[in-house]
A and B are shown apart, each in its own frame.
Chain A
Amino acid sequence: MMPAPIHLQNIVIDYGGDPIIRDVSGCFAPGSLTAIAGENGRGKSTLVKGLIGEIPLTNGTIDTGGMKGPVMAYLAQTSTLEKSFPFTVADTVILGAWKQMGAFRAVNRALARKAHNALCQVGLENLANRPISTLSAGQLQRVLFARLILQDAPVILLDEPFTAIDAQTTDDLIGIIKNWHREGRTVIAVLHDFDHIRHHFPQTLFLHAQGYAWGATETILPPSPQWTGPHHFASTGHTTSSSGSDQQSSVKTGFAKLRLLS
């Protein structure tokens, strides 16, 4: 199924007090790759939960263009997954095929093959029978991405998928997100790291105290090294967000130089 555009019209969400999301309108185009950014408490997760219908909209409408059924695959920021549960990696991944197997149908050979392929894509094909309680945070996130792959949804929503995840895993998972983008799926991800957004996400929805900015990433987050927030309003506290990966790339080039010298 190809994704339809997702139109947001005057979305307002509150939890009974001041609105968290104030009057957001716009459109996620079919096959677009959008980052949702902004300071903590600006309602990034709230907006995503509103999109999948986990929390009700106070006002406004979301038009998913006639897409029916569970078209949105969603990875929560703090997963409700019980990590100590006596499940293996394979048990967890195969749940992504819920659409095909439902509550009662058997897991057939085709589904098992798909699950195996998904595990191969995230590089965990050798851990299929490992209990999930023995996985590292990065490995568990890979498992959850494999489950998302198996869900095969036209729209994929990710809420801070790289928090507390090692650099290598982050790189690999960004590869999978770009793969989804190439396949024509609509992908929306809440992210903190502006470097990731600038390099990999063509569209950005930035939520801030005065409202929001939504459009091409290079206009919303101009690529300036001294940049501390969207250009049309003053912002603080974003200066450290890109230093980590800069350091890493310098380490990498350092290694390259060493190798050339020896």
Chain B
Amino acid sequence: MTTALGLIDPFIHYGFMRRALVATFVLGCSAGPVGVLLLLRRMTLVGDAMSHAVLPGAAIGFLVAGGLSLPAMGLGGLIAGLGVSVLSGLVSRKTVLREDASFASFYLTSLAFGVLIVSLKGSNIDLLHVLFGTILSVDQNAIMLVGLISSVSLIILALIYRPLVTECFDPGFLRTVAGTGPFYHLLFLFLVVINLVAGFQTLGTLMAVGMMTLPAIVARLWTRTLPRMMAMAAFTAALSGLSGLLVSYYFALASGPAIILSASLFYGFSLVAAPHGIFAGRGLFKRAIPFSG
């Protein structure tokens, strides 16, 4: 009884906990599906690099606004993130460097630059908050912005779903029937960046990508059709948000790592128990259909 009460108590008593919960739930709804596509496009590490790349933009926004303001940091992050992805795309097209190499060099530069900016002008606490998130900063405006980002992401995702999915399922085929261009890819990178921005406050710039990757990976281990995978990723993200916030509240820990570690626990459990995990076919839940080839 007391445990059950303990699970909802913080959300009843504190407005900031309620807002943080709403923010993570809403974020999960879009970050989950976006993360699934990131995973299927084999861009999980690109998403990771991107989360580092947004930092200087977010840091400048942080300084200009004088605190953890989501609109200011979001705008800065958006510009920095898109800038880095366009620049790495250009470099990989014009030189012998592959996209991963150019991404790595740009995001490292970007990350170092961002940390310098925050530590020059802000305190160590500020730096921790920017990097790892703080639930105390989630206000009404922030929730609205997260809601807006999440809605826009889902709408765009629904619109470009077919070409985006076909492009990662069978790129050669899409080339012969429809030709190809960087348009959908760029639009998708845009979705990745705005979903990173939406996770800035509760997760921190460094951890925001975790809301996309880990739930998607968990879902991949459990399901084999795309719609189910997206639904499960969203659900896992929301569940990680809930448990992470509780841990963060009771043990006075930064919310970002707490949420991501919750997702990691789901991942660890899924590795062992899921039908497509380590003990494939012999786990707690057997495959629905055995492999035939």
Contact = CB atoms under 8 A, between A and B. Distances in A.
Interface residues of A, number: 35
B43 interface: no
Contact of B170 (A52, A81, A131, A139): A81
A76 B172 contact: yes
Given A86-B229, A131-B224, A137-B293, A103 B173 contact: no
Nearest to B160: A103
B39 to A, nearest CB: 10
Nearest to B41: A82
**Chain B at the A interface: mostly helix, strand, loop or mixed?**
helix
B225 interface: yes
A82 B172 CA distance: 10
A88 B170 contact: no
Interface in A58-87: 70, 72-74, 76, 79-82, 85-87
B173 A81 contact: yes
Contacts of A128: none
A95 B173 contact: yes
Contact of B292 (A85, A87, A101, A136): A136
B194 to A, nearest CB: 21
**Chain A at the B interface: mostly helix, strand, loop or mixed?**
mixed
Query: What interface size band does chain B fall in?
Result: 20 to 34
Contacts of A136: 292-293
A245 interface: no
A135 interface: yes
Interface of A: 52, 54, 70, 72-74, 76, 79-82, 85-88, 91-92, 95, 98-99, 101-104, 130-131, 133-137, 139-140, 147, 151
24 contacts: A70-B177, A80-B171, A80-B172, A85-B40, A85-B168, A85-B169, A86-B226, A91-B226, A92-B169, A95-B170, A98-B174, A98-B177, A102-B178, A103-B162, A104-B159, A104-B162, A130-B289, A131-B289, A134-B290, A134-B293, A136-B292, A137-B293, A139-B292, A140-B293
Given A79-B173, A86-B223, A103-B178, 13 more contacts: A70-B177, A73-B176, A79-B170, A81-B170, A95-B170, A99-B177, A102-B178, A103-B163, A104-B162, A131-B224, A133-B291, A134-B289, A134-B293
Interface of B: 40, 159-160, 162-163, 166, 168-178, 220, 223-226, 229, 289-293
